[in-house]
């Protein structure tokens, strides 16, 4: 499930959780984790698509990516 790659994604190592965390600041509460950097990125791409799908079904506004 690919999504619009123009949303800013911040990926960092969480010492506390011992995993990589990927956050999408433009989409409230949108984040994922993974054992590797690439797994966190892949997982957050899925979560972005799900976030957008949910927002559409609830008829909520979807932020325009800063990258547009």
N residues, the chain: 68
Q: What is the model's pTM?
A: 0.87
pLDDT at 30: 97
Strand partners, 13: 20
What is 7-68 written as a DSSP string?
S--EEEEETTTTEEEEE-TTSTT-EEEESSHHHHHHHHHHHHHHHHHHHHHTT---PPPTT-
* 5: pLDDT strictly greater than 80: no
pLDDT at 2: 52
Average pLDDT score over residue span 32-49 = 97
pLDDT at 17: 95
* 1: pLDDT strictly greater than 80: no
Structure tokens given for 49: 């698509």
């Amino acid at each position: 499930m690919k999504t619009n790659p123009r949303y800013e994604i911040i990926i960092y190592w969480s010492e506390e959780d011992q995993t990589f965390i990927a956050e999408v600041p433009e989409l409230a509460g949108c984040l994922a984790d993974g054992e590797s950097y690439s797994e966190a990125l892949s997982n957050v791409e899925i979560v972005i698509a799900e976030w957008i799908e949910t927002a559409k079904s609830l008829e909520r506004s979807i932020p325009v990516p800063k990258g547009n």
